[in-house]
């Protein structure tokens, strides 16, 4: 099956080399069982939408990349690579938007946010926050699947899509 080798004017690739790297790795992770990360992407059923099999369409939808510190992130960790589910995110944001992330109810906004966000709000390390909440009997984390109906990604909290 064609994994989406860029066709068309080489100038679009030449002027978007870094973006081309992001795009090609996205395709490989989702379609090549021999790739080291396939088990976490294609092996879990994560796909690249038909539109993004064309590099030109990917560029049209995801340009410009805010900075080289931003990487492609799926807002819904179990969702596909498609325009409605992807944003550019920093490493900090992506670290909070993983399948294994734990979520707590924010004391002010009353929405489920990554536990690391609560630690940041409290001005302490994640370990100190967890210890304090455990000691007080208030450590009630949820997984993303458990809070899906009220799930708010770090990308949405920080409005990094713009």
pLDDT score, position 145: 65
The better pLDDT of the pair 9, 143 is held by 143
pLDDT band at 162 (very low <50, low <70, confident <90, very high): very low
| Percentage, residues of the chain above pLDDT 70 | 82
124 Cβ contact partners less than 8 Å away, ≥ 6 residues apart: 132
E runs forming strands in 10-101 = 71-74, 86-89
Let me know if 14 is exposed, middle or buried by CB neighbors in 10 A (0-12, 13-18, 19+): exposed
pTM: predicted TM-score of the whole model, two decimal places = 0.65
pLDDT score, position 61: 97
pLDDT score, position 23: 96
């Amino acid at each position: 099956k064609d994994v989406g080798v860029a066709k068309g004017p080489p100038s679009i690739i030449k002027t978007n080399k870094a973006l081309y790297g992001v795009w090609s790795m996205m395709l490989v992770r989702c379609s090549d069982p021999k790739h080291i990360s396939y088990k976490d992407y294609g092996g879990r059923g994560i796909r690249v939408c038909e539109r993004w099999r064309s590099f030109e369409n990917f560029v049209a939808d995801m340009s410009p990349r805010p900075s080289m510190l931003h990487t492609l992130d799926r807002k819904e960790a179990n969702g596909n690579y498609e325009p409605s589910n992807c944003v550019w995110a920093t490493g900090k944001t992506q670290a909070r938007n993983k399948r294994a992330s734990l979520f707590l109810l924010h004391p002010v906004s009353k929405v489920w946010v990554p536990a690391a966000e609560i630690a940041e709000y409290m001005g302490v390390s994640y370990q100190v926050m967890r210890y304090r909440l455990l000691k007080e009997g208030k450590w009630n984390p949820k997984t993303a699947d458990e809070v899906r109906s009220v799930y708010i990604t770090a990308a949405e909290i920080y409005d990094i899509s713009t």
